[in-house]
Amino acid sequence: MLYDLLATIVFGVGAGGIAIALRKTIAKGLPGWIVPACAGLAMLAFTIFNEYAWYPNTVAHLPEGTIKAQAVPEARLYRPWTFAAPTVMRFIALSDIAPWPDAQNADQRSANIVLVERWKEAFAVPVVFDCTSATRYDFPAGLPAQPVDLAQQADGVSLENDDPLLTTACKHG
């Protein structure tokens, strides 16, 4: 966040400097308000660009084996441009997708749900997906070392069959 603030200030100072140079070189001169107006517009333009560029840049630099599963677009009143095109400030990815070693059900996948939000540290929650029953079992303390009966070890969360996390885990596992 500090780098975003510093870059925004640099863009404003740079645009203000260009406006000052234009004021000095144009024979009739430009009005004095052009300098702060250019600086402010440059800062606003950079902020908007930076908001829209964060999500694709972050997804492009995900570690190998991490798959984006669901984006959360949002529009905010204090950012009116987001009503025309909502920005993605957080998303969910899955990493380390693998078959869960259960002899009774070969249609289970273990994975880490990675929650990524702008200006916050990403964190992962180990889970097991049952692709047949559309159920997710969360293991916040970590996956057990040995295969276990999931229904006895963790609370299952019923999911819709078209849930993005479930479909991503079952398709890539």
Predicted confidence (pLDDT) per residue in 63-119, tens digit: 999 999 999 999 999 999 999 999 999 999 999 998 877 656 678 888 999 999 999
* pLDDT for the residue 143: 80
Lowest mean pLDDT, pick from 43-47, 54-58, 111-115, 138-142 = 138-142
Task: Please check whether residue 125 is in contact with residue 113, taking contact to mean a CB–CB distance below 8 angstroms.
Answer: yes
Predicted confidence (pLDDT) per residue in 143-171, tens digit: 877 666 666 677 788 899 899 999 999 98
Torsion of CA 57, 62, 68, 73, to 10 degrees: -30
**3 state SS for the chain:** CHHHHHHHHHHHHHHHHHHHHHHHHCCCCCCCCHHHHHHHHHHHHHHHHHHHHHHHHHHHCCCCCEEEEEEEEECECCEHHHHCCCEEEEEEEEEEEEECCCCCCCCEEEEEEEEEECCCCCEEEEEEEECCCCEEEECCCCCCCCCCCHHHHCCEEECCCCCHHHHHHHHHC
Domains delineated in the chain: 2-60 (no CATH), 66-172 (2.40.128)
Angstrom distances, CA of residue 28 to CA of 14, 22, 23, 172: 23, 11, 9, 65
* pLDDT for the residue 140: 82
What whole-number distance in Å separates Cα of residue 21 and Cα of residue 13? 12
What whole-number distance in Å separates Cα of residue 135 and Cα of residue 124? 18
* pLDDT for the residue 52: 96
* pLDDT for the residue 28: 76
